[in-house]
């Protein structure tokens, strides 16, 4: 699922470090600060334009799915915690793409004789598929 760059626009990043953040209603302040705390912390030279926020958001989605959360529950989590929204179909398509990547990792690991890595990939795939 492509992660919108809107949350990484200069105006949003400027807001996080300005006194105007205090002018927002409390819920919106909390969502902005939670987003920054959870996804904008990295030590890359190009941060926050380095790709780490998108990667971290993707990992969070996969973690939630691995915990057994449904696509609707994942969307609700991001909406409640960060004020972000995604369409269920987009999330399902993105997760399907991730399954394809993991299947490729599993196949390569098997060819290379890395049974443990192949097993791990297979288990992760099942969690994403909801099995």
Nearest CA to 54 out of 43, 40, 64 is that of 40
The answer to whether residues 15 and 21 touch, using CB atoms and an 8 Å cutoff, is yes
Q: Based on the fold, state whether residues 82 and 107 are members of the same structural domain.
A: no
pLDDT at 6 (0 to 100): 63
pLDDT at 130 (0 to 100): 86
- Domain carrying residue 70: 7-86
Q: Based on the fold, state whether residues 36 and 96 are members of the same structural domain.
A: no
pLDDT at 1 (0 to 100): 47
pLDDT at 7 (0 to 100): 63
Q: Based on the fold, state whether residues 73 and 31 are members of the same structural domain.
A: yes
Q: Is residue 14 part of a domain?
A: yes
Burial 8-45 (b: 16+ CB within 10 A, else e): eeeebeebeeeeeeeeeeeeeeebbeebbeebbeeeee
Return per-residue pLDDT of the chain as tens, 131 residues.
444 456 666 777 788 888 888 888 999 999 999 999 999 998 999 888 888 998 999 999 999 999 999 999 999 999 999 999 899 999 999 999 999 999 999 999 999 999 999 999 999 999 999 86
Domain boundary among 50, 68, 86: 86
The answer to whether residues 54 and 3 touch, using CB atoms and an 8 Å cutoff, is yes
Q: Is residue 111 part of a domain?
A: yes
Q: The pTM is what?
A: 0.83
């Amino acid at each position: 699922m492509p992660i919108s760059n809107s949350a990484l626009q200069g105006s949003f990043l400027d807001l996080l470090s300005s006194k105007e953040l205090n002018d927002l209603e409390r819920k919106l302040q909390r969502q902005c600060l939670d987003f920054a705390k959870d996804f904008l912390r990295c030590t890359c030279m190009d941060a926050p334009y380095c790709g780490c926020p998108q990667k971290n958001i993707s990992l969070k989605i996969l973690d939630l799915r691995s915990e057994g959360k449904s696509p609707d529950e994942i969307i609700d989590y991001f909406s409640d915690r960060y004020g972000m929204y995604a369409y269920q179909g987009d999330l399902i398509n993105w997760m399907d793409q991730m399954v394809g990547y993991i299947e490729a990792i599993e196949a390569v690991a098997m060819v290379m004789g890395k049974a443990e890595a192949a097993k791990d990939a297979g288990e992760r795939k099942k969690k994403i598929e909801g099995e």
